Amino acid sequence: MTTGAARSVLVFGVYMLGQGAVLMLQPAWLLAPFGLPVPGDAWVRVVGWTLAVLGLYYVQAARAGRADFFRLSAFVRLAQFGFFGALVATGLGQPVLLAFSAVEAASGVWTLLALRAARAGA
């Protein structure tokens, strides 16, 4: 795990692990500052678990240097911004969703730029 792309995926994986842990243990810490309601049922913790598991996949892919995963995940992270934008545009989601997805999109751009730099330097 020495490439810039691997580093970007590792950082994103740790970010996802952190988000997942907070949603599992103290969801209000993440949701309330953005004006999002804190659900009283288990679903927010299920989402937290899912984020944490996905974060582990990202960390492991980064450690293994899986460039195929880096590329796919970068495009998926960019697509999420469009999907969340559509949710907001149709009134199904709150605009704060765009803040969360902007972090994902920016990390996807970081990964794609790092992959391009690696190809140019090869």
Q: What integer pLDDT is reported at residue 27 of this predicted model?
A: 96
Mean pLDDT by groups of 10 residues along the chain of 122 residues = 88 98 96 90 96 98 96 97 97 93 96 94 72
C-alpha 78/C-alpha 44 separation (Å) is 23
Q: Is the pTM for the entire model greater than 0.85?
A: yes
Instruction: Give dist(CA 61, CA 68) in Å, integer.
Output: 9
Domain-by-domain residue ranges, the chain? 4-121
Give me the amino acid identity at 29: W
Helices (H), the chain: 4-25, 27-31, 43-64, 67-89, 96-121
